[in-house]
Amino acid sequence: MNKTELIDKIAESADLSKKSAGDVLQAFMAATTDTMKKGNKLTLIGFGTFSVNERSARTCRNPQTGKEMKVAAKKVVKFKVGKQLSDAVQ
């Protein structure tokens, strides 16, 4: 499913216009992004939790050349699935 299909699904399920559903999705994505930028968690009970983790700097090997490379430290977004979503998928 892509963004357009998700907007269509939201519009249909919530009895909204496609524009309103698009605005709702855009607001959700902006709020999630803002929360992640601040380093906070976003928990949607039953669905899952978005959080930010620090990945430390490390040394690895290039698989094609075997040459050693340094990978810089960075922040990554992590998603832990909630029980209801996990049960629904199984």
> What pLDDT shows up at residue 87?
94
Rounded average pLDDT over 13-39: 95
What is the sign, positive or negative, of the torsion defined by CA atoms of 37, 38, 39, 45? Answer: negative
pLDDT digits (tens, 9 = 90+) for 29-79: 999 999 999 999 999 999 999 999 999 999 999 999 999 999 999 999 999
Assess contact for 85 and 69: CB atoms under 8 A. Answer: no
Bridge partners (DSSP) of residue 70 are 59
Residue 89 tokens read as: 């998928």
